[in-house]
Each structure stands twice: as C-alpha cells, then as structure tokens.
Amino acid sequence: MSGRRLKRLGFLTIGLFDEADPGRGHEDTLRVLELGERLGFDRAWVRHRHLQYGITSPVAVLAAATQRTSRIELGTAVTPLGWENPLRLAEDWATVDILSGGRFNPGVSTGPPMHYERVKDALYPGTAETEDLGYARLRRLLSHIAGEPVTDFRGTEGIESYSDRVQPHSPGLRRRMWYGSGSLRSARWAGENALNLLTSSVGKAEEPDDGAGPEDFAAIQLTHIRAFRATHPDGEAARVSQGLVVVPTDSADAAQRAKYEEYAAQRLPRTREPQGPARLLFAPDLVGPSEWIAERLRAHAAYREVEEVAFALPFTFAPEDYEQILTDIAGRLGPALGWRPTS
C-alpha cells in the first residue's frame, strides 16, 4: 500500500471554558499548547468559536502562547474571515508572527459566518447586505500580508512617520497561510492562489473523479487534495494538512475509554449519509489503540496523500483527558505512522 511518510504531527483544540470561570479554561488551553511542545509536536492549532464557550480570540490566545513556547508552530484552524476586517487582521497576524519568531500559521475560511442572519446586524449594522464575504475579501487579506500598499502616502507628517503598507511586516507569513477547504471549488481556489490546504473531518459530498460515489468520505477528500495540487504552483509538493478526530486509548483508564467510545458513538450517525442542504459528509472518529488507528489511517485514501496531520481533540473532554490523548499520539500513534518527535 503506497503512501507518504508522516513528517509533521499537529493537534487542534477548541479551548473550552466555563462561562463562570473563563480564566481557568484559557489557562488550561495554554498549558495544552505547552504540553504539545514538550511532547515534540510540530504544530498546535486552535479553533475559532464566536459567541460560544471556546476560543473567540485566537490572536490573543496565541500571542500569549508565543511567550510560553519557543519551538512549536502555532496556527488557527480556521478563522472565519466574515467576522474580520482584513487590514486589521493583517496587523494582528503579523504581530503574532513577529512575537513567535516566525512560527505562526494562520488558517482562514471565507463565506457568510455561521448563523449570519442572527448576528449580522450586530456585526455589520447598516452594511450587512453589501459586505463581500467571499474570495475578494481574502484576496485583500493576502495582499496586506504580502506587504502591498494600502495607502498612497508614505513619509513624515510633523514628527510622526507613516508606512504605506501594514506594519509590522513579516516577510515569511504569506507562505505560511492556510485555507480551510471542504469542497472541490475551494480546494482549486486555494491552489490557484498559492495557499496551503487544511482539510478536516467534514467535506461536501461531491462525486469523486474515480466514481467511488458521493458518500465515500476518503475518496471525496482525495479528490479535493489532488485538485488543489493540480492548480498549485508547487504541484505535488504543495502542502496539505489533514485533520481527523483521532483518540488513542493506549494509556486511558476504563472510565476514559468508556467516555471516548460514547462520544464517538453519539457522532457516528452523521457519518452515514450527507447532512443538510449543503450535503456535508463527516468522517467517523477513530477511537482505539494506536496500532488499530494507524492501520485505518494507512488504509485511508486521502491520508496516504499527505505528510502533515492535525488531529482534532474532542470538544468536551477534561484537561487530564487531553494530556492522555496527546501523550499517546506523540508516544505511540505518531511513531507507528513513521513520525519522529522534535526535541
């Protein structure tokens, strides 16, 4: 069975917190990121959850994380651009990248934010119907990150100096930008615009090129990856990170194993057929011993096409659960897939 060796191992966390004590939850998230560095993970990603009890400001959380880590790369998976002003976001992202010493990997998505009808009047009072929430918005962000001019003035007024481009400027950041894709169209667009590709456990049920059927998740995801690389300037070397929910149980106790299996069982029905008008298909969670998970990943058509992964931590678990899961991923599952931890 052919495949690429796993070169970069990452994980993804939602940063859950209690509304009555948000400080503790944010501290737990920072400790998880520190743990990831100690265990040798290459990259840690945080989710973006507006008006929920998860990370609502990845910029702030990751700015703090840059001062508590020194090696591990840090990313967002993903920032919904419909909530953001591209110029201001470019300033924030460049600042985080500078603080991290060039370790920031921002991921972004386009389109109307989730539940846009509920929040649009608060987010864009008076302009919600005219806001461009598509690719043009992302093109503006990319140009700002790349250092293209945003004004026609550069010079001094009185005793103050002004730049004509976003400051600070971080030259390497543009090549470390990722696009969260779940469809053929968005995968091709990401490739055409020289972004890196983030795939996840969710995809649009489209007929894959090999005729495997629109309900074969792995075949659909493989089609997206190949379409992305076919349009990317780097071709087969274009970077793709796969994000599945993976929970090894090697060192878990009986209560943890029961919790993990119940979590996966509750989510399993949505994997059997496309969901909703958008026909979204979800991949099953992989819960079990590391060797068992490794066998299933090696048989996954899309996994065999990637060299980077970002295994997603389940939303609702406790800090001690995340410690066990990450320790088993780094110590057992990763090596079973050919990965070597970074010291």
What is the set of domains in the chain, with CATH numbers?
8-336 (3.20.20.30)
**Range with lowest mean pLDDT among 141-155, 169-183, 200-214, 225-239:** 200-214
Q: Which two tokens stand for residue 253?
A: 């106790």
pLDDT at 343: 72
42-83 pLDDT, tens digit each: 999 999 999 999 999 999 999 999 999 999 999 999 999 999
pLDDT at 1: 46
Q: Which residues contact 137 (CB under 8 A, 6 or more apart)?
A: 81, 82, 86, 110
Query: Which amino acid does the sequence have at 36?
Result: G
Q: Which two tokens stand for residue 305?
A: 């096409």
Mean pLDDT of all residues in 168-184 = 97
Q: Which two tokens stand for residue 93?
A: 């992202």
How many Å apart are CA 122 and CA 168, to the nearest integer? 30
pLDDT at 206: 81
Mean pLDDT of all residues in 155-178 = 98
Of the CA atoms within 13 Å of residue 268, those in its CB half-sphere come to 9
pLDDT at 293: 98
Instruction: Please say if the pLDDT value at position 337 is more than 90.
Output: yes
pLDDT at 342: 81
pTM: 0.95
75 contacts 44 by C-beta, under 8 angstroms: yes
pLDDT at 278: 85
pLDDT at 208: 61
Instruction: Please say if the pLDDT value at position 2 is more than 60.
Output: no
Phi, psi for residue 107 in degrees, rounded to 5: -110, 145
pLDDT-above-70 percentage for the chain = 97
Where in the chain does DSSP place strands (E)? 8-13, 43-46, 73-80, 104-109, 155-157, 160-162, 178-180, 196-199, 202-204, 240-242, 246-248, 280-282, 286-288, 308-312
113 contacts 123 by C-beta, under 8 angstroms: yes
Instruction: Please say if the pLDDT value at position 209 is more than 70.
Output: no
Instruction: Please say if the pLDDT value at position 111 is more than 60.
Output: yes
